[in-house]
Amino acid sequence: MEWAQVVIEWVADLEVWAVVTMEWDKVETAWDKVDTEWGPMVEMEWVQTVAEEVVWDKEVWVAVTMEWDQMVETVWVQMVEMEWAQTVAEEEVWDLEVWDPEEMEWDKSAVRRTSSHVVKANMIKLSQLFSLICLILCVSENWAREAIRPSPDVGQIIDELHGLQLNDSQTPFVRGGPCKLDIQKDLPAADHLQPLYLHSNTDRYWLPNADGQLVVDHGASIELYCSKSFAKIDTANNVGYIPGKRLSMHVRCHHGNIFEWSGGRAAFHNFVCKQALEYRVERLEHQRCGDTEAANGDNETGHMYRVGYKISDDRFIRTIELCHNAQLLRTHYARYEMEPANWHFQKQVNRLKFSPAGHFAGYDMGKLYSQSHQESLMGPDMLDGRAGLFLARGHLAAKADLIYASQQRSSFNYVNAAPQWQSFNGGHWANVEDETRRFVARLGIPVSVYTGTFGELPWPGVGHNHSSLHLAHDANNNPVLVVPLLYYRLLIDNASNGQKRGIAIVGVNNPYVTVNQIHDENTSPSYVICEPIDAELVAWLRSLQNSNLRKGYLYACTVADLARAVKHLPRHLLQVHDLLTDTRPQEQKL
C-alpha cells in the first residue's frame, strides 16, 4: 500500500510536468504564429540583422544570454539532483522489498515523504524555469516585432544595412568601406559627357582628396547633374534604368566603384549625360569690383561675373568668379579656389572653342584674335607663328587649374581671357601655372587664386595715334581689348590662422623688351610695380627669371605690395603682408 501511495504521488507530479509541457507547447505555438506572420520578412537578411541589432542595442541580448546560461546550469544541476533523488528513492524502495520485514527498523513513511518532497520541489523549480522562459520569449517577440515593423525610413535602413557584414565574434558587424574613385580612371572618360559631381542639394563640387581620389562613404549619396538628361545605362554588368527626363540623381556608394539608385546599380563611370553640360557666364549687377574711390569714373571699374552651371533659381555651381569691364572688353582678374587635389586635374579633356557666352555684343571676338587681324595692326615683321610671336587668347583661370572636365570646359569663354603673347603664354607663364599647382600640393593647403592683368602694353605706331596695343575700337573710336602690360598671380593661404599669408608672381607680357628696360626707372609705364623679394625665397622662380626673355620675365613680391599698385584687387588683400613660401614663417626673410 505504501508503495502504491508513492506511485500515486509520482503520477501527480507527472501531471504537473504535463501542465508545464502544455505551457511550453503554447509558447511554441505562439512563436510558430510569429514565424507564419513574419516569415517572409524574417527570411530577409536585413530584417534578421535589424532584429538582432535592436536587441543588442538595448543591451538585453547579453543579459538574456547570461540568464539563459545560468538557468541551463541550474536546471542541469537540478535535473541531476532529481535523477539522483529518484534513483535513491527507487533503490530504497527496492531495498524495502527485499529486506526482511522483521528487520526493518527505519521509518517507511519518512522515506515516502522524503522522496515525494524531493520530486515535488524540483518539479516546482522546473515550472518556474519554464515560466521565465515564456516571459523571455514574449519580451523577445515584442522586440522583434518592433525591429521588423516597417517605418517611413525603412529604405534608408536597408541602404545602411548593405554596409553590414559578418565578422568575428568580437565585432559582430562592421560597416563597409568607402567607395574610392580615381578621377583619372573611374570616372567617365574625359572626352565623354560627364555630369556634375556635387554634395547633395548644395552648390559645392564633391572634390577629390590630395591623392586624386573621389571618396564617398559607404551608404552615402553623391548628387549627379546633367543639363538635359542622363544617357541610358545598358551595359551587361549593370542593372536598372534612369528615367529619361531626370536631370539630377542621387546615387549611393555600394562598394568599390559600384553605386546604387532607385532604379538599379551600376559602375560609376556609366553615369553620363545625353548632351554636353551648358555653362553660363552671368553678370552680378549689384556687385561692383575694383577700387571705386580711386577709379576715374565708372569706365575704370567693372562688375563681378560668375561662371558655372545653373541648376535652379537658387542653385548655381560656380567654377570661376571674374572682375570684368564690359565697356573696355577687359577682365581685370579671375578668382577661384585651389587645393592640393588640383594637382590631379583630369587629363585629356578636349579643348573647346572659345565662346562669348552671351557677352561682347557687336564684336566678333574670334576675328579680333585672328593672326590676320593682328598682322593688319602690327605688320607682318612683328609676327612669327613658329616662334610664338602672336597674341593668343590667354586664360586667366587656366584650364589645368580646374579639376573636373566640367570645370575645365567652363574656362573657355572670352570673359576669362585676355590678349597674351603666345611665347609668354606657352613659356614661363605656363611654368608659373604648373609650379603653383605643385607648390600648393607640396604645402598641402587650400588657397584662393587671383590671376589678372595690369597696365597697357605700349606699341608705337599703332593706328589712330594711340600709344597702347589694342585689338579693337568701340563705337566712339576708343581703344578696347587692350593688350595688358603685365600678368599677375596671387596665392592666398586659406589655412593660416590670424594673419594671412600669400605670394604674388608678376610676369612681363612683352617678348621684345630687354632686362635693362624692365629695370630702368625711367621706363614708362614701369614694368616693376612692387618691390621684388629675394629670389632665394622662391626656388622654382629663380631658374626662370633670366632665361629667354621672349618666354617672359618674372618676379615676385608680397600680396599687400602688389595690391597697393593694382587698384582693381579687393582692398582686404592690403592686409596680406606675410610671405607664403616653402620655408617656415620664422625662417622667412623679406
Residue 435 gets which letter from DSSP?
A: H
Rank 243-252, 439-448, 515-524 by mean pLDDT and report only the highest: 439-448
| Among 395, 428, 470, 568, the one annotated catalytic | 395
Give the C-alpha distances (Å, rounded to integers) separating 458 from 270, 484, 507: 53, 9, 16
Beta carbons of 487 and 429 less than 8 angstroms apart: yes
CATH of domain 343-587: 3.40.570
Is residue 90 predicted with pLDDT exceeding 60? Answer: no
Per-residue model confidence as pLDDT tens digits over 538-562: 887 877 776 788 999 999 999 999 9
* Residue 395 bears catalytic tag: yes
Per-residue model confidence as pLDDT tens digits over 399-423: 999 999 999 999 999 999 999 999 9
Pair type for strands 248-255 and 280-289: unpaired
Decide: helix, strand or coil at residue 521. Answer: coil
- The C-alpha cell that represents 147 in the structure block: 525591429
Per-residue model confidence as pLDDT tens digits over 144-157: 555 555 544 444 44
**Close Cβ partners of 439 (under 8 Å, ≥ 6 residues apart):** 491, 540, 582
Q: How far apart are CA 334 and CA 449, in angstroms?
A: 8
Long-range contacts (CB closer than 8 Å, 24 or more residues apart) made by 456-463:
456/482, 456/483, 456/484, 456/485, 456/525, 457/482, 457/483, 457/484, 457/485, 457/509, 457/510, 458/485, 458/525, 459/378, 459/483, 462/377, 462/378, 463/377
User: At 78, is the pLDDT very low, low, confident or very high (cuts 50, 70, 90)?
Assistant: low
Q: How far apart are CA 23 and CA 479, in angstroms?
A: 102
pTM for the whole structure: 0.69
Which amino acid is present at 3?
W
Boundaries of every domain in the chain: 2-149, 175-270, 343-587
Which amino acid is present at 355?
S
Pair type for strands 501-508 and 578-579: parallel
Q: How far apart are CA 135 and CA 255, in angstroms?
A: 42
444: phi > 0 → left, psi -120 to 50 → alpha, else beta; which? left
**What is the mean predicted confidence (pLDDT) over 10-29?**
49
Decide: helix, strand or coil at residue 206. Answer: coil
Q: What does pLDDT average to over the chain?
A: 78
- 299 annotated to a ligand binding site: no
**What is the mean predicted confidence (pLDDT) over 300-318?**
93
